[in-house]
């Protein structure tokens, strides 16, 4: 099982993750990404993998949980 992790120390709050993959991420009131599905599977895992690719700062990783 995978776990979605966002490293806030390098996140730019640009929002690609929650705009492009809203099944897994959403914005909090300050523009930080919140992880909706911490352990994605199936289509949500594919969405999380896509977010890893599109994040401009490399802040999103999928770790073995």
Can residue 52 be called a binding residue for ligand SF4 (CB under 6 A)? no
Q: State the Cα torsion 11-65-34-51 to the nearest 10°.
A: 60
Nearest distance in Å: CB 12, ligand SF4: 4
Element (H, E) at 60: strand 60-64
- CA 11 to CA 21: how far, in whole Å? 16
Can residue 11 be called a binding residue for ligand SF4 (CB under 6 A)? yes
Can residue 60 be called a binding residue for ligand SF4 (CB under 6 A)? yes
Nearest distance in Å: CB 10, ligand SF4: 7
Nearest distance in Å: CB 21, ligand SF4: 9
- CA 4 to CA 38: how far, in whole Å? 5
Residues in contact with ligand SF4 by the rule CB under 6 A: 6, 11-17, 33, 55-57, 59-60
């Amino acid at each position: 099982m995978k776990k979605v992790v966002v490293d806030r120390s390098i996140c730019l709050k640009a929002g690609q993750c929650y705009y492009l993959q809203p099944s897994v991420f959403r914005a909090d009131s300050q523009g930080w990404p919140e992880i909706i599905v911490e352990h994605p599977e199936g289509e949500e895992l594919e969405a999380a993998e896509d977010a890893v690719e599109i994040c401009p700062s490399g802040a999103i990783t999928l770790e073995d949980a």
